[in-house]
């Protein structure tokens, strides 16, 4: 848990930056696609695992209404604390906790979703078993995981520039480290799911410039900000120049920098 050393309050600054810079552009649209593909409907009982600042949970609540319920869990205390402030009507049940040991009863949900979570879990099999436990029989699971970085060129360019500047790029590359759809599908099968499908989707987001994209990751990227913080001012300016050159073909005079994100969406039935 990250706290303010002076007040003891949970530090939500990273969550606020994530919500401001990356939810409207990337994570929000992906969350909505995932919720839709999961078959969410009015009256569903839905759980968002690794919910971050709550984009998927909030969108799901709009569909589900008061007839169903939305719950959300995340290991990051700052994300949960900030997500609660965005839930103005207290319509979502937020929980700070671990996905491999959730506080929910067996068969508690019709749908479990998780946007860009599975690649960060050290015990993936245990986490999937826990998701299956809380799903009712016939319930649906939908998880997204980025394809490899060569299919996500803007992020790949930043990773390459970090390496050229002597900085370990793992913080940028790790989100793209679990992009094999066969391995993802096999994990679902081993956990006892059925009707498994892994589909590749691509989405375009636009940032004002490559510099704006880098600054957005530096401010709000949960895994990339640490890597970018390793650069001094001169190193950061050098990286920005390298990335701008590498991504010049993706710049639209009217829209700005086109950031392609490609991900696998894994769907299954409990």
pLDDT in tens, 213-242: 999 999 998 789 899 999 999 999 999 999
- Asked if residue 4 has pLDDT above 80, the reply is no
Give the span between the Cα atoms of 127 and 125, in whole angstroms. Answer: 5
Q: Which domain holds residue 261?
A: 13-269
pLDDT score recorded for residue 29:
98
pLDDT score recorded for residue 5:
36
Q: End-to-end CA distance of the chain, in Å?
A: 32
Tell whether 6 is covered by a domain.
no
CB 97 within 8 A of CB 123: no
Tens-place pLDDT, residues 17-49: 999 999 999 999 999 999 999 999 999 999 999
Tell whether 261 is covered by a domain.
yes
Which residue has tokens 């939305």?
70
Tell whether 7 is covered by a domain.
no
Give the span between the Cα atoms of 144 and 119, in whole angstroms. Answer: 9
CATH of the domain at 224: 3.40.50.150
Tens-place pLDDT, residues 148-195: 999 999 999 999 999 999 999 999 999 999 999 999 999 999 999 999
Tell whether 5 is covered by a domain.
no
CB 52 within 8 A of CB 34: no
CB 72 within 8 A of CB 95: yes
Total count of domains within the chain: 1
Over residues 70-93, the mean pLDDT reads 97
pLDDT score recorded for residue 80:
98
């Amino acid at each position: 848990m990250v706290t303010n050393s002076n007040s003891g309050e949970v530090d939500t600054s990273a969550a606020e930056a994530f919500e401001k810079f990356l939810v409207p552009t990337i994570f929000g649209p992906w969350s909505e696609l995932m919720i839709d593909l999961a078959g969410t409907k009015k009256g569903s009982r839905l759980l968002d695992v690794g919910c971050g600042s709550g984009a998927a949970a909030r969108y799901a609540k709009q569909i589900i209404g008061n007839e169903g319920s939305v719950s959300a869990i995340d290991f990051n205390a700052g994300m949960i604390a900030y997500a609660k402030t965005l839930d103005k009507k207290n319509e979502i049940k937020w929980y700070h906790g671990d996905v491999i040991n959730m506080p929910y009863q067996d068969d508690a949900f019709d749908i479990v979703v998780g946007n860009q979570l599975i690649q960060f879990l050290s015990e993936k099999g245990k986490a999937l078993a826990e998701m299956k436990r809380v799903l009712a029989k016939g319930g649906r699971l939908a998880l997204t995981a980025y394809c490899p970085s060569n299919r996500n060129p803007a992020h790949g360019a930043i990773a390459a520039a970090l390496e050229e500047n002597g900085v370990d790029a793992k913080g940028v590359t790790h989100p793209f480290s679990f992009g094999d759809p066969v391995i993802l599908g096999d994990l679902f099968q081993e956990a006892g799911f059925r009707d498994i499908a892994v589909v590749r989707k691509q989405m375009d987001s636009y940032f004002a410039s490559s510099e704006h994209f880098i600054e957005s990751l530096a401010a709000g990227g949960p895994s990339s900000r640490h890597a970018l913080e390793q650069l001094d001012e001169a190193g950061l300016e050098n990286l920005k120049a390298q990335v701008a050159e590498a991504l010049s073909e993706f710049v639209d005079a009217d829209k700005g920098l086109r950031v392609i994100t490609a991900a696998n969406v894994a769907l299954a039935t409990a």
